[in-house]
Amino acid sequence: MIWDQKAECMPHKEREELQLERLKRIVKYAYDNVPFYKKRFKEAKVKPEHIQGLKDIQKLPFTEKADLREGYPFGMFAVPRKDIVEVHTSSGTTGKPVVAGYTRNDIDLWSEAMARALTMAGTSRDEIIQNCYGYGLFTGGLGVHYGAQRIGATVVPISAGQTKRQIQIMVDFGTTILTSTPSYALYLAESAEEEGLSKRVKLKAGVFGAEMWTERMREELEKRFRLHALNIYGLTEIIGPGVAQECMEKSGLHIAEDLFFPEVVSPDNLEPLAEGEKGELVITTLTREGMPMIRFRTKDLTSLTRGKCKCGRTLVKMSRITGRSDDMLKIRGVIVFPSSIEKALLAVKGVEPHYQIIITRPHHLDEIEVQVEVSQKMFSDEVRRIEETRKNIEDSIEAEIGLRVKVTLVEPKSLPRSEGKAKRVIDKRAL
Protein backbone atom coordinates (compact mmCIF):
# COMPACT_ATOMS: atom_id res chain seq x y z
CA MET A 1 0.00 0.00 0.00
CA ILE A 2 1.22 3.45 -0.91
CA TRP A 3 -0.25 6.61 0.58
CA ASP A 4 0.94 9.18 -1.94
CA GLN A 5 1.65 7.35 -5.18
CA LYS A 6 2.80 10.49 -6.98
CA ALA A 7 5.25 11.74 -4.36
CA GLU A 8 6.61 8.35 -3.36
CA CYS A 9 7.00 6.73 -6.78
CA MET A 10 8.01 9.73 -8.90
CA PRO A 11 10.95 9.20 -11.31
CA HIS A 12 14.21 10.29 -9.74
CA LYS A 13 14.90 13.07 -12.24
CA GLU A 14 11.50 14.56 -11.78
CA ARG A 15 11.90 14.49 -8.02
CA GLU A 16 15.25 16.22 -8.27
CA GLU A 17 13.62 19.08 -10.11
CA LEU A 18 11.01 19.32 -7.39
CA GLN A 19 13.69 19.17 -4.69
CA LEU A 20 15.72 21.93 -6.34
CA GLU A 21 12.74 24.19 -6.70
CA ARG A 22 11.83 23.62 -3.04
CA LEU A 23 15.42 23.97 -1.88
CA LYS A 24 15.82 27.35 -3.54
CA ARG A 25 12.61 28.54 -1.97
CA ILE A 26 13.35 27.28 1.56
CA VAL A 27 16.91 28.63 1.59
CA LYS A 28 15.70 32.07 0.64
CA TYR A 29 12.83 31.80 3.09
CA ALA A 30 15.16 30.83 5.95
CA TYR A 31 17.60 33.60 5.05
CA ASP A 32 14.88 36.21 4.95
CA ASN A 33 13.02 35.14 8.08
CA VAL A 34 15.48 33.66 10.58
CA PRO A 35 18.27 36.02 11.75
CA PHE A 36 20.36 32.99 12.67
CA TYR A 37 20.55 31.84 9.06
CA LYS A 38 21.22 35.30 7.72
CA LYS A 39 24.15 35.62 10.09
CA ARG A 40 25.49 32.15 9.32
CA PHE A 41 25.19 32.58 5.59
CA LYS A 42 27.02 35.89 5.77
CA GLU A 43 29.81 34.32 7.78
CA ALA A 44 30.10 31.60 5.16
CA LYS A 45 29.84 34.18 2.39
CA VAL A 46 26.93 32.51 0.67
CA LYS A 47 23.66 33.89 -0.56
CA PRO A 48 20.42 32.13 -1.39
CA GLU A 49 20.95 32.84 -5.09
CA HIS A 50 24.09 30.68 -4.99
CA ILE A 51 21.81 27.68 -5.00
CA GLN A 52 21.57 26.79 -8.67
CA GLY A 53 21.72 23.03 -8.48
CA LEU A 54 21.12 20.46 -5.74
CA LYS A 55 24.87 20.07 -5.24
CA ASP A 56 25.10 23.72 -4.29
CA ILE A 57 23.58 22.81 -0.94
CA GLN A 58 27.14 21.86 0.02
CA LYS A 59 28.03 25.55 0.04
CA LEU A 60 25.66 26.17 2.91
CA PRO A 61 26.75 26.02 6.55
CA PHE A 62 25.55 23.24 8.83
CA THR A 63 23.08 23.70 11.63
CA GLU A 64 23.64 21.86 14.89
CA LYS A 65 21.68 21.02 17.96
CA ALA A 66 23.76 23.53 19.90
CA ASP A 67 22.50 26.28 17.58
CA LEU A 68 18.95 25.36 18.43
CA ARG A 69 19.74 25.41 22.12
CA GLU A 70 21.28 28.81 21.76
CA GLY A 71 18.11 30.05 20.18
CA TYR A 72 16.06 28.61 23.03
CA PRO A 73 13.16 28.80 23.12
CA PHE A 74 11.80 30.42 19.95
CA GLY A 75 14.90 31.80 18.24
CA MET A 76 14.79 29.46 15.26
CA PHE A 77 11.19 30.23 14.31
CA ALA A 78 10.65 31.78 10.89
CA VAL A 79 7.16 33.03 11.65
CA PRO A 80 5.66 35.20 14.39
CA ARG A 81 4.89 33.13 17.48
CA LYS A 82 1.17 33.57 16.96
CA ASP A 83 1.40 31.54 13.74
CA ILE A 84 2.87 28.62 15.65
CA VAL A 85 0.02 26.28 16.56
CA GLU A 86 2.03 23.65 18.41
CA VAL A 87 5.41 23.19 20.01
CA HIS A 88 7.38 20.09 20.90
CA THR A 89 10.71 19.52 22.53
CA SER A 90 13.25 16.84 21.85
CA SER A 91 13.23 14.07 24.41
CA GLY A 92 16.56 15.27 25.69
CA THR A 93 18.46 11.97 25.51
CA THR A 94 21.54 14.04 24.88
CA GLY A 95 21.41 17.16 27.02
CA LYS A 96 19.03 20.10 27.22
CA PRO A 97 15.86 19.97 25.12
CA VAL A 98 15.39 21.91 21.93
CA VAL A 99 12.10 23.47 20.93
CA ALA A 100 10.38 22.82 17.63
CA GLY A 101 7.53 25.00 16.42
CA TYR A 102 4.85 23.96 13.94
CA THR A 103 2.53 26.13 11.89
CA ARG A 104 -0.79 24.70 10.76
CA ASN A 105 0.83 23.82 7.44
CA ASP A 106 3.65 22.05 9.27
CA ILE A 107 1.17 19.91 11.16
CA ASP A 108 -0.36 19.10 7.81
CA LEU A 109 3.05 18.22 6.39
CA TRP A 110 3.79 16.05 9.40
CA SER A 111 0.44 14.28 9.14
CA GLU A 112 1.18 13.48 5.49
CA ALA A 113 4.67 12.21 6.23
CA MET A 114 3.32 10.02 9.02
CA ALA A 115 0.41 8.80 6.90
CA ARG A 116 2.96 7.66 4.33
CA ALA A 117 5.01 5.93 7.01
CA LEU A 118 2.10 4.13 8.63
CA THR A 119 0.74 3.09 5.23
CA MET A 120 4.13 1.56 4.44
CA ALA A 121 3.58 -0.65 7.48
CA GLY A 122 0.21 -1.71 6.13
CA THR A 123 -2.04 0.73 7.94
CA SER A 124 -5.36 1.46 6.31
CA ARG A 125 -8.71 2.61 7.68
CA ASP A 126 -9.38 -0.99 8.65
CA GLU A 127 -6.61 -1.17 11.19
CA ILE A 128 -6.46 -0.47 14.92
CA ILE A 129 -3.30 1.29 16.01
CA GLN A 130 -2.16 1.03 19.59
CA ASN A 131 0.11 4.01 20.00
CA CYS A 132 2.50 3.47 22.90
CA TYR A 133 4.70 6.42 22.08
CA GLY A 134 4.43 9.04 24.77
CA TYR A 135 1.94 11.82 24.12
CA GLY A 136 3.07 15.24 25.18
CA LEU A 137 6.16 17.23 24.36
CA PHE A 138 7.79 14.18 22.82
CA THR A 139 6.95 14.06 19.10
CA GLY A 140 6.38 10.29 19.01
CA GLY A 141 2.87 10.18 20.39
CA LEU A 142 1.24 13.00 18.46
CA GLY A 143 3.21 12.28 15.28
CA VAL A 144 1.77 8.78 15.02
CA HIS A 145 -1.59 10.12 16.10
CA TYR A 146 -1.73 12.71 13.31
CA GLY A 147 -0.69 10.16 10.70
CA ALA A 148 -3.24 7.62 11.86
CA GLN A 149 -5.96 10.26 11.88
CA ARG A 150 -5.02 11.33 8.38
CA ILE A 151 -5.41 7.74 7.21
CA GLY A 152 -8.59 7.26 9.18
CA ALA A 153 -7.38 4.26 11.14
CA THR A 154 -8.64 3.72 14.68
CA VAL A 155 -6.09 5.07 17.13
CA VAL A 156 -5.81 3.87 20.70
CA PRO A 157 -3.86 6.78 22.24
CA ILE A 158 -2.62 4.76 25.17
CA SER A 159 0.94 6.14 25.51
CA ALA A 160 3.55 4.10 27.36
CA GLY A 161 3.09 2.40 30.70
CA GLN A 162 0.49 0.25 32.41
CA THR A 163 1.77 -2.79 30.64
CA LYS A 164 -0.91 -5.20 31.85
CA ARG A 165 -3.60 -2.88 30.62
CA GLN A 166 -1.78 -2.49 27.30
CA ILE A 167 -1.93 -6.22 26.74
CA GLN A 168 -5.52 -6.50 27.85
CA ILE A 169 -6.50 -3.77 25.41
CA MET A 170 -4.41 -5.32 22.66
CA VAL A 171 -6.37 -8.55 23.09
CA ASP A 172 -9.81 -7.06 23.72
CA PHE A 173 -9.69 -4.45 20.95
CA GLY A 174 -7.89 -6.69 18.50
CA THR A 175 -5.06 -4.20 17.90
CA THR A 176 -3.35 -4.82 14.57
CA ILE A 177 -0.62 -2.17 14.48
CA LEU A 178 1.68 -1.42 17.39
CA THR A 179 3.73 1.75 17.56
CA SER A 180 6.35 1.94 20.30
CA THR A 181 10.04 1.87 21.02
CA PRO A 182 11.46 -1.58 20.21
CA SER A 183 12.58 -2.12 23.79
CA TYR A 184 9.11 -1.43 25.11
CA ALA A 185 7.61 -3.72 22.47
CA LEU A 186 9.86 -6.48 23.70
CA TYR A 187 8.79 -5.80 27.23
CA LEU A 188 5.16 -6.01 26.12
CA ALA A 189 5.86 -9.31 24.36
CA GLU A 190 7.47 -10.68 27.48
CA SER A 191 4.56 -9.59 29.64
CA ALA A 192 2.03 -11.01 27.20
CA GLU A 193 3.80 -14.35 27.44
CA GLU A 194 3.73 -14.17 31.21
CA GLU A 195 0.04 -13.43 31.22
CA GLY A 196 -0.47 -16.34 28.85
CA LEU A 197 -2.08 -13.98 26.35
CA SER A 198 0.53 -14.13 23.58
CA LYS A 199 -1.58 -16.35 21.37
CA ARG A 200 -4.48 -13.94 21.53
CA VAL A 201 -2.50 -10.94 20.32
CA LYS A 202 -3.40 -10.22 16.69
CA LEU A 203 -0.72 -7.73 15.67
CA LYS A 204 0.20 -7.54 11.99
CA ALA A 205 2.91 -4.91 12.09
CA GLY A 206 4.92 -2.89 14.53
CA VAL A 207 6.34 0.55 13.78
CA PHE A 208 9.35 0.76 16.02
CA GLY A 209 11.70 3.66 16.49
CA ALA A 210 13.01 6.46 18.72
CA GLU A 211 15.99 4.34 19.71
CA MET A 212 18.61 2.21 18.04
CA TRP A 213 17.89 -1.46 17.55
CA THR A 214 19.27 -4.41 15.64
CA GLU A 215 18.27 -7.09 13.16
CA ARG A 216 18.41 -9.61 15.96
CA MET A 217 15.85 -7.61 17.88
CA ARG A 218 13.69 -7.56 14.77
CA GLU A 219 13.81 -11.36 14.64
CA GLU A 220 12.96 -11.56 18.30
CA LEU A 221 9.99 -9.19 17.97
CA GLU A 222 8.73 -10.91 14.84
CA LYS A 223 8.92 -14.29 16.46
CA ARG A 224 7.31 -13.32 19.70
CA PHE A 225 4.51 -11.19 18.31
CA ARG A 226 4.25 -12.84 14.84
CA LEU A 227 4.25 -9.41 13.17
CA HIS A 228 6.32 -7.39 10.72
CA ALA A 229 8.72 -5.33 12.79
CA LEU A 230 9.50 -2.15 10.85
CA ASN A 231 11.85 0.67 11.52
CA ILE A 232 10.74 4.28 11.66
CA TYR A 233 13.03 7.28 11.83
CA GLY A 234 12.59 10.90 12.68
CA LEU A 235 13.74 13.65 14.95
CA THR A 236 12.13 16.62 16.59
CA GLU A 237 14.47 19.14 14.98
CA ILE A 238 13.27 18.05 11.55
CA ILE A 239 9.60 17.30 12.27
CA GLY A 240 9.38 14.22 14.52
CA PRO A 241 8.74 10.65 13.38
CA GLY A 242 7.95 10.20 9.70
CA VAL A 243 11.20 11.40 8.16
CA ALA A 244 11.88 7.84 6.99
CA GLN A 245 10.13 4.51 7.25
CA GLU A 246 10.84 0.95 6.29
CA CYS A 247 8.56 -0.82 3.83
CA MET A 248 7.78 -4.54 3.93
CA GLU A 249 11.03 -5.26 2.07
CA LYS A 250 12.80 -4.52 5.36
CA SER A 251 15.97 -3.46 3.63
CA GLY A 252 16.31 0.14 4.70
CA LEU A 253 14.10 3.12 5.40
CA HIS A 254 12.59 5.23 2.62
CA ILE A 255 13.30 8.86 3.31
CA ALA A 256 10.49 11.23 2.36
CA GLU A 257 13.10 13.08 0.35
CA ASP A 258 10.68 15.35 -1.44
CA LEU A 259 10.11 16.87 2.01
CA PHE A 260 13.37 16.17 3.82
CA PHE A 261 16.50 16.42 1.72
CA PRO A 262 19.17 13.97 2.91
CA GLU A 263 22.94 14.10 2.64
CA VAL A 264 25.54 11.86 4.22
CA VAL A 265 28.80 13.46 5.30
CA SER A 266 31.96 12.24 6.93
CA PRO A 267 31.76 12.83 10.70
CA ASP A 268 35.45 13.73 10.66
CA ASN A 269 35.72 16.43 8.02
CA LEU A 270 32.05 16.93 7.09
CA GLU A 271 32.83 16.25 3.43
CA PRO A 272 29.99 14.71 1.44
CA LEU A 273 30.16 10.94 1.05
CA ALA A 274 29.19 8.85 -1.93
CA GLU A 275 26.16 6.62 -2.09
CA GLY A 276 26.61 3.54 0.08
CA GLU A 277 29.25 5.12 2.29
CA LYS A 278 28.49 5.30 5.96
CA GLY A 279 28.54 8.66 7.64
CA GLU A 280 26.48 11.23 9.41
CA LEU A 281 23.02 12.00 8.12
CA VAL A 282 22.34 15.66 7.38
CA ILE A 283 18.81 16.81 6.62
CA THR A 284 17.33 19.96 5.13
CA THR A 285 13.60 20.46 5.50
CA LEU A 286 12.29 21.42 2.07
CA THR A 287 8.84 22.66 2.98
CA ARG A 288 8.75 23.41 6.69
CA GLU A 289 7.37 26.84 7.53
CA GLY A 290 7.58 27.31 11.27
CA MET A 291 11.16 26.25 11.72
CA PRO A 292 13.09 25.54 8.52
CA MET A 293 16.21 23.47 9.11
CA ILE A 294 19.10 23.95 6.73
CA ARG A 295 21.66 21.14 6.69
CA PHE A 296 20.88 19.91 10.17
CA ARG A 297 23.49 17.49 11.49
CA THR A 298 21.49 14.61 12.94
CA LYS A 299 24.65 12.89 14.27
CA ASP A 300 23.00 9.61 13.31
CA LEU A 301 25.20 7.27 11.31
CA THR A 302 23.78 5.69 8.19
CA SER A 303 24.31 5.27 4.46
CA LEU A 304 22.04 5.98 1.50
CA THR A 305 21.10 3.64 -1.33
CA ARG A 306 19.22 4.62 -4.43
CA GLY A 307 17.28 2.44 -6.83
CA LYS A 308 13.72 1.35 -7.31
CA CYS A 309 12.46 -0.72 -4.42
CA LYS A 310 10.31 -3.80 -4.92
CA CYS A 311 7.55 -1.95 -3.10
CA GLY A 312 7.39 0.49 -6.02
CA ARG A 313 8.78 3.53 -4.24
CA THR A 314 11.63 5.48 -5.77
CA LEU A 315 12.50 7.23 -2.51
CA VAL A 316 16.10 6.84 -1.43
CA LYS A 317 16.72 4.31 1.34
CA MET A 318 18.82 4.87 4.42
CA SER A 319 20.28 1.92 6.28
CA ARG A 320 19.29 1.17 9.85
CA ILE A 321 20.99 3.66 12.20
CA THR A 322 24.01 1.92 13.64
CA GLY A 323 25.26 4.56 15.98
CA ARG A 324 25.61 8.23 16.65
CA SER A 325 28.70 10.17 15.86
CA ASP A 326 28.40 11.72 19.30
CA ASP A 327 27.44 8.75 21.45
CA MET A 328 30.23 6.52 20.40
CA LEU A 329 32.19 5.46 23.40
CA LYS A 330 35.92 5.70 23.56
CA ILE A 331 37.18 2.83 25.61
CA ARG A 332 40.93 2.68 26.06
CA GLY A 333 41.13 4.77 22.92
CA VAL A 334 39.04 2.36 20.90
CA ILE A 335 35.77 3.57 19.41
CA VAL A 336 32.92 1.41 20.56
CA PHE A 337 29.27 1.74 19.65
CA PRO A 338 26.78 0.38 22.14
CA SER A 339 24.91 -1.09 19.18
CA SER A 340 27.89 -3.31 18.35
CA ILE A 341 27.80 -4.70 21.85
CA GLU A 342 24.11 -5.37 21.49
CA LYS A 343 24.66 -7.10 18.19
CA ALA A 344 27.34 -9.33 19.66
CA LEU A 345 25.25 -10.10 22.68
CA LEU A 346 22.26 -11.16 20.68
CA ALA A 347 24.36 -13.38 18.46
CA VAL A 348 24.68 -15.76 21.40
CA LYS A 349 21.87 -18.27 21.57
CA GLY A 350 19.32 -17.77 24.29
CA VAL A 351 20.39 -14.25 25.16
CA GLU A 352 17.65 -11.67 25.36
CA PRO A 353 18.23 -7.99 24.70
CA HIS A 354 18.04 -6.94 28.31
CA TYR A 355 21.41 -5.57 29.15
CA GLN A 356 23.26 -2.59 30.46
CA ILE A 357 26.75 -1.39 29.69
CA ILE A 358 28.67 0.03 32.62
CA ILE A 359 31.93 1.81 32.05
CA THR A 360 34.32 2.43 34.88
CA ARG A 361 37.93 3.44 35.22
CA PRO A 362 39.14 1.69 38.36
CA HIS A 363 42.91 1.95 37.85
CA HIS A 364 43.36 4.57 35.13
CA LEU A 365 42.18 2.01 32.64
CA ASP A 366 38.69 1.81 31.21
CA GLU A 367 36.72 -1.29 31.99
CA ILE A 368 33.43 -2.31 30.43
CA GLU A 369 31.03 -4.45 32.30
CA VAL A 370 28.03 -5.74 30.45
CA GLN A 371 25.24 -6.87 32.70
CA VAL A 372 22.99 -9.37 31.05
CA GLU A 373 19.80 -10.76 32.45
CA VAL A 374 19.73 -14.54 32.68
CA SER A 375 16.97 -15.87 30.50
CA GLN A 376 15.26 -19.19 31.01
CA LYS A 377 17.06 -20.49 27.94
CA MET A 378 20.50 -19.56 29.24
CA PHE A 379 19.96 -21.02 32.65
CA SER A 380 21.12 -24.46 33.71
CA ASP A 381 21.40 -26.33 36.98
CA GLU A 382 25.10 -26.71 36.25
CA VAL A 383 27.53 -23.90 36.98
CA ARG A 384 29.77 -25.08 34.16
CA ARG A 385 27.12 -24.51 31.51
CA ILE A 386 26.18 -21.07 32.74
CA GLU A 387 29.84 -20.12 32.83
CA GLU A 388 30.14 -21.38 29.28
CA THR A 389 27.33 -19.12 28.09
CA ARG A 390 28.83 -16.19 29.95
CA LYS A 391 32.15 -16.80 28.30
CA ASN A 392 30.49 -17.16 24.90
CA ILE A 393 28.99 -13.72 25.34
CA GLU A 394 32.37 -12.28 26.30
CA ASP A 395 33.99 -13.91 23.28
CA SER A 396 31.26 -12.71 20.96
CA ILE A 397 31.63 -9.12 22.19
CA GLU A 398 35.40 -9.29 21.90
CA ALA A 399 35.13 -10.53 18.34
CA GLU A 400 32.83 -7.62 17.51
CA ILE A 401 34.54 -4.69 19.24
CA GLY A 402 38.06 -5.95 19.76
CA LEU A 403 38.03 -5.45 23.50
CA ARG A 404 37.63 -7.92 26.32
CA VAL A 405 34.69 -6.99 28.50
CA LYS A 406 33.43 -8.48 31.69
CA VAL A 407 30.00 -10.01 31.42
CA THR A 408 27.98 -10.31 34.60
CA LEU A 409 24.79 -12.28 34.77
CA VAL A 410 22.00 -10.71 36.71
CA GLU A 411 18.53 -11.82 37.70
CA PRO A 412 15.73 -11.37 35.21
CA LYS A 413 13.92 -8.05 35.37
CA SER A 414 16.57 -6.58 37.61
CA LEU A 415 17.66 -4.10 34.94
CA PRO A 416 15.40 -1.11 34.46
CA ARG A 417 12.78 -1.51 31.73
CA SER A 418 12.16 1.62 29.81
CA GLU A 419 8.88 2.85 28.52
CA GLY A 420 10.59 5.31 26.26
CA LYS A 421 14.21 5.19 25.27
CA ALA A 422 16.22 2.49 27.00
CA LYS A 423 19.19 3.68 28.99
CA ARG A 424 21.82 1.21 27.92
CA VAL A 425 25.03 2.90 28.90
CA ILE A 426 26.10 4.05 32.32
CA ASP A 427 29.39 5.84 32.17
CA LYS A 428 30.84 6.06 35.65
CA ARG A 429 34.22 7.34 34.55
CA ALA A 430 35.22 10.61 36.10
CA LEU A 431 36.79 12.23 33.07
Partner 1 sequence: MKVKQISIFLENKQGHLLEVVDALAKAKINIRALSIADTSEFGILRIIVPDPEAAKKALKKGGFTFNENDIIAVGVSDTPGGLAKALAVLSEEGINVEYLYAFVSKAEEKAVVVLKTDKLESSIKTLKKAGISIIPPKEVYSL
Q: Which residues sit at the interface with partner 1, rule CB under 8 A?
A: 374-376, 379-384, 386-387, 408-414
Query: Which CB atom, from 188 or from 244, has the smaller least distance to partner 1?
Result: 188
CB of 54 to partner 1, least distance (A): 55
Cis peptide before 35 (omega within 30 of 0): no
Query: Which CB atom, from 36 or from 379, has the smaller least distance to partner 1?
Result: 379
CB atoms within 10 A of CB 233: 24
Query: Which CB atom, from 95 or from 412, has the smaller least distance to partner 1?
Result: 412
Strand partners, 336: 329
CA 264, distance to chain mean position in Å, is 16
CB of 414 to partner 1, least distance (A): 7
Query: Which CB atom, from 223 or from 413, has the smaller least distance to partner 1?
Result: 413
Query: Which CB atom, from 117 or from 374, has the smaller least distance to partner 1?
Result: 374
Task: Output the CA torsion 136→142→144→146 (10° steps).
Answer: 170
CA 250, distance to chain mean position in Å, is 15
CB of 332 to partner 1, least distance (A): 23
CB of 389 to partner 1, least distance (A): 11
Q: What are the start-end ranges of the E strands in 250-396? A: 253-255, 260-265, 279-285, 296-302, 304-305, 317-318, 323-324, 329-331, 334-336, 355-360, 367-373
Query: Which CB atom, from 319 or from 375, has the smaller least distance to partner 1?
Result: 375
Query: Which CB atom, from 37 or from 187, has the smaller least distance to partner 1?
Result: 187
CB of 383 to partner 1, least distance (A): 5
CB of 195 to partner 1, least distance (A): 12
Residues 6 or more apart in contact with residue 34 via CB below 8 angstroms: 76, 77, 78, 292
User: Whose CA is closest to 184, among 213, 155, 215, 219?
Assistant: 213
For 45, what's the count of Cα atoms within 13 Å in the CB-facing half-sphere? 0
CB of 266 to partner 1, least distance (A): 42
For 48, what's the count of Cα atoms within 13 Å in the CB-facing half-sphere? 18
Query: Exposed, middle or buried, 351 (CB in 10 Å: 0-12/13-18/19+)?
Result: buried
